[in-house]
């Protein structure tokens, strides 16, 4: 059992949890994640390790409420216990001194972006950041990014903060104005696809962190299979980070949509049963 030591709201439907998980905290590196199971019989679902305090044995996770399991997590309070936490899982990020690195975060992707950005900064890179969300109240970690970035740009869909539009609008401008040695993008699949398409044209190496469905997190179930440079790869053990120019984003989008359809059908089945 793993105890929630602290819980905080970061934005509407986005919360952070500090959890006592000493073994995970000791071993975790930037870019890795855990798989949680909240209670016996509960669903397994992945969340990124945003930070860790090895001495205190704590890990920080950030969760956006999007469906059943994340809604169940959102209901837990400080002092409550989580049944299982497996990890750290996945390959750690490749941290090198690249020069000027542009990091791009969309929505809750801003959370997994932070630990990698911190590690890149510590390795001596100059950081520029673009953070994009729907509306200004959805921003979080702005101060954390401000302290490690030379320049930071905000975009919102509704123009309530920063530039109205998409992160790719700013990316296009920066590609023209700045020398950028590397791009790291984490967010919705369509955003990572658009970023990778743009940087491919101008040959800027680009890393993305993929978020396919994961179940076991150990390469056994096949749920997280992705096509990378025409080859099958399991995001849970070979990733989650991959070269954005080699990812088959269309297959990833198709698989995610398939899952959504199955969820909807299952939900309709439940509703039917309920009304009988």
Q: Which is nearer to ligand FAD, 119 or 175 (CB)?
A: 119
234 near ligand FES (CB under 6 A): yes
Distances (CA, A) of 39 to 13, 79, 180, 202, 216: 21, 15, 45, 48, 16
Assess contact for 145 and 167: CB atoms under 8 A: no
Relative to beta strand 206-209, strand 225-228 is unpaired
240 near ligand FAD (CB under 6 A): yes
Closest separation between CB of residue 174 and ligand FAD, Å? 25
Neighbours of 130 (CB within 10 A): 29
**Per-residue burial over 212-232, b = 16 or more CB atoms within 10 Å of its CB, e = otherwise:** bebbbbeeeeebbbbbbeeee
Closest separation between CB of residue 55 and ligand FAD, Å? 23
253 near ligand FES (CB under 6 A): no
Query: Euclidean distance between the first and final Cα of the chain, in Å?
Result: 38
Closest separation between CB of residue 2 and ligand FAD, Å? 16
Closest separation between CB of residue 120 and ligand FES, Å? 26
3-class state of residue 105 by DSSP: strand
144 near ligand FES (CB under 6 A): no
List 126's β-bridge partners, or say none: 100
Q: Enumerate residues 176-205 that contact ligand FAD by CB under 6 A.
A: none
Q: Which of 76, 175, 213, 253 binds ligand FAD (CB under 6 A)?
A: 213
Q: Which is nearer to ligand FES, 95 or 237 (CB)?
A: 237
Rounded Cα distance between 264 and 31, Å, is 31
247 near ligand FAD (CB under 6 A): no
Q: Enumerate residues 23-62 that contact ligand FAD by CB under 6 A.
A: 33, 43, 45-48, 62
Q: Can you give the binding site for Mg ion, defined by CB under 5 A?
A: 67-69
| Residues forming the site for ligand FES (CB under 6 A) | 214-217, 219-224, 234, 236
């Amino acid at each position: 059992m793993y105890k929630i030591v602290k819980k905080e709201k970061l934005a509407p439907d986005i919360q952070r949890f500090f959890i006592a998980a000493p073994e995970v905290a000791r071993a975790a590196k930037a870019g890795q994640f855990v798989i949680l199971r909240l209670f016996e019989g509960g669903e397994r679902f992945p969340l990124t390790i945003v930070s860790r305090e090895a001495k205190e044995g704590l890990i920080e996770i950030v969760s956006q409420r999007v469906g059943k399991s994340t809604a169940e997590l959102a209901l837990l309070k400080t002092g409550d216990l989580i049944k299982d936490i497996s990890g750290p899982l996945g390959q750690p990020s490749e941290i090198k001194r690249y020069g000027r690195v542009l990091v791009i975060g969309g929505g809750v992707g801003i959370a997994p972006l932070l630990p990698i950005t911190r590690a890149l900064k510590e390795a001596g890179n100059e950081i520029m950041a673009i953070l994009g969300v729907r509306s200004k109240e959805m921003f979080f970690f702005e101060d954390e990014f401000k302290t490690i970035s030379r320049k930071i740009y905000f975009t919102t869909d509704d123009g309530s903060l920063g530039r109205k539009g998409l992160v790719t609008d700013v990316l296009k401008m920066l590609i023209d104005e700045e020398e950028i040695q590397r791009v790291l993008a984490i967010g919705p699949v369509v955003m990572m696809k658009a970023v990778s398409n743009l940087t491919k044209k101008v040959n800027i190496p680009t890393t993305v962190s993929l978020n396919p469905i994961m179940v076991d997190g150990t390469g056994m179930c096949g749920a997280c299979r992705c096509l990378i440079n025409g080859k099958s790869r399991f995001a849970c053990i070979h990733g989650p980070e991959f070269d954005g120019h080699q990812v088959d984003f269309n297959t990833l989008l198709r698989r995610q949509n398939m899952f959504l359809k199955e969820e909807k059908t299952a939900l309709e089945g439940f509703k039917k049963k309920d009304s009988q």
